Structure 1
Amino acid sequence: MAFDLITVSDRRHSSLQKGFNLRWPLGNLQGQSSPNGANLIYLCRSPQDIMDAAAQALALPHGRITVRSGGHCYEGFVANKMPDSPDEVLSILDISALDRVVYDASGQIGSELSPTQPFRYRFRLEAGSQIWDSYSALYKQANKTLPAGSCYSVGLGGHICGGGYGLLSRKYGLVCDWLSGVDMLVPDSHGKGLEPRHVSRDSTQQDELDLFAACCGAGGWSIRHYHQLLLQGPAASAQRGAVAGDGMGLVSTDPGGTKQSAGGLPAMVCQPSEQPGHLGPGDQTGNAPRAHRQYHPGHPLCGQGG
């Protein structure tokens, strides 16, 4: 097992209990671990680390796990134990080290988690990558960008699967509108661990389409995000006070170019290949089914904090 396990005896424990909102966990004091926060923090560097950590943490009596990519769960769902659960053993799976941004102009990136899947993409963004680093990497590698947020340290894992709203969203929609595929980990049938799944906007199985829709606003267990189309990077403007992103174009995967709809989103939202009930790129709402948490009723898992 390659993950690092941080226990209360580690001097880093009190710091790693906290996310961006230092109010959580409840009752924390500087330099002291809070009894209301995580007992254990697993620092994971690969999907296998995450699965191993989850299996170990859920094997503990009263074990429950949450996931942290950037630490921006302001409500404290990641950092705090459940109310009235004095025996709970909370483990945070910290996946911030999964932070790569990969680009292939030929569009031949496949799922690393499920390599037998046929879907191919141009971009792969891992859940631990923070917004600032993602913007920089996409701009330098491909002159592309996302209509994502402006807080630099938000992790993509919580941001994208929570919808992904930013300064460009009124014109270009949410980040999840540009999402094409997701590597994710879902609870196994026994509720004692996680198993890998890859879901795509072009999946043909209804359960996969439901999971993909849940990744477009309901949060989740994503570890990698795949994109086929992204926004053209902003050009320098001599106009004083110009809004970054004005004049952005859309990059097409076909030689004929992608038409724009009236709302500025790709006309591919009207593709006949979309499945019934499929959350298309132009829906703009990011309103994935709230049943995402109901796929595993009663399971001691929680959402992911960006």
Structure 2
Amino acid sequence: MKLQVIRPEDPQYGFWNSRGVNLQFAGKPAGIIPVISDEELAEALQQAVSQKQKLAVRGGGHCLENFVANDAVEIIIDISQLKGIRYDPAMNAIEVRAGNTVGEVSEFLSNEWNVVLPMGEHPDIGIGGHIQGGAFGFLCRRHGLGADFLYAVEMLGVNKDGIVQKFIAKREDNDINRDLWWAHTGGGAGNFGIVTRFWFRSY
């Protein structure tokens, strides 16, 4: 599989490197990889791990700290094109791919199901980082955090042999990866792997 790796000499580098909203921070990674599929994401992660490159993941670009845009980051994996929202009957939950924004998720839930998740209000915030940080918003005092509605998460992680693996972690008490699900309900983005999908249940 040949990945698109955008280098500093490429004409589109400026666009992809300036996607963060806080322009106070501007790193200069050696490459930016805008992935368009789960397979590309796995390949990009495997390459970075195998080459021992410090990487960061960018979704909506709304992180106000320099977790992504800093000089130590060598590779940025951009997941903003990994979009899709649907009802998953097997999970009995709404499946949201990690590249979606808060606005896209809110519009889908309102139009299709007449429900809401208590998340942030800015429509361009990436759902990936937002949920993993808890997902605070104006409705939280009444309904709790957006992460409180997280039923399951799919992520790519790296095993002890340095090989990328897919994990699915659910809220169920008997789920073997329940601790991993719990860690994604506010433990911060990018600490455990790269999330590819969330499943939400509205209560």
Output the CA distance in 2 between the equivalents of 1:59 and 1:181: 28
Output the CA distance in 2 between the equivalents of 1:55 and 1:122: 30
Give the match for residue 25 of structure 2: 24
Give the match for residue 48 of structure 1: 39
Quick check: 1:169 aligned with 2:140? yes
CA 1:196–1:155 in 2, change beyond 3 Å: closer, same or farther?
Answer: same
Q: 2:168 aligns with which of 170, 178, 198?
A: 198
Residue 8 of structure 1 aligns with an amino acid whose one-letter code is P
Quick check: 1:101 aligned with 2:74? no
Following superposition, the deviation at residue 46 of structure 1 comes to: 1.7
Note the residue ranges of structure 1 that are not aligned, 5 or more in a row: 26-35, 83-88, 110-119, 231-249, 251-306
Output the CA distance in 1 between the equivalents of 2:37 and 2:159: 18
Quick check: 1:217 aligned with 2:186? yes
Output the CA distance in 1 between the equivalents of 2:173 and 2:39: 24
Identity %: 32
Following superposition, the deviation at residue 205 of structure 1 comes to: 4.6
Output the CA distance in 1 between the equivalents of 2:118 and 2:132: 14
Residue 184 of structure 2 aligns with an amino acid whose one-letter code is C
C-alpha contact 2:93 2:151 (8 A) present in aligned 1: no
Give the match for residue 10 of structure 2: 10
- Listed one character per residue, the Cα deviations across residues 54-97 of structure 1 (whole Å, up to 9, x for unaligned) are 1222333x511111111112111112133xxxxxx611111111
Give the match for residue 152 of structure 1: 123
TM-score relative to the length of structure 2: 0.90
Q: 2:92 aligns with which of 118, 121, 141?
A: 121
Q: 1:90 aligns with which of 74, 86, 105?
A: 74
Give the match for residue 28 of structure 2: 37
C-alpha contact 2:169 2:175 (8 A) present in aligned 1: no
Give the match for residue 284 of structure 1: none
The SS at the match of 2:75 is: strand
Give the match for residue 143 of structure 1: 114
Residue 22 of structure 1 aligns with an amino acid whose one-letter code is L
CA RMSD of aligned residues (A): 1.8
- Number of residue-to-residue matches in the alignment: 198
Output the CA distance in 2 between the equivalents of 1:121 and 1:2: 36
Quick check: 1:79 aligned with 2:69? yes
Give the match for residue 183 of structure 1: 154
CA 1:200–1:2 in 2, change beyond 3 Å: closer, same or farther?
Answer: farther
Output the CA distance in 2 between the equivalents of 1:178 and 1:224: 14
Give the match for residue 59 of structure 2: 69
Following superposition, the deviation at residue 3 of structure 1 comes to: 4.0
CA 1:205–1:124 in 2, change beyond 3 Å: closer, same or farther?
Answer: closer
Note the residue ranges of structure 2 that are not aligned, 5 or more in a row: none
Residue 53 of structure 2 aligns with an amino acid whose one-letter code is G
Following superposition, the deviation at residue 121 of structure 1 comes to: 2.4
- Listed one character per residue, the Cα deviations across residues 234-292 of structure 1 (whole Å, up to 9, x for unaligned) are xxxxxxxxxxxxxxxx5xxxxxxxxxxxxxxxxxxxxxxxxxxxxxxxxxxxxxxxxxx
Output the CA distance in 2 between the equivalents of 1:146 and 1:3: 35
Output the CA distance in 1 between the equivalents of 2:143 and 2:44: 38
C-alpha contact 1:215 1:222 (8 A) present in aligned 2: no
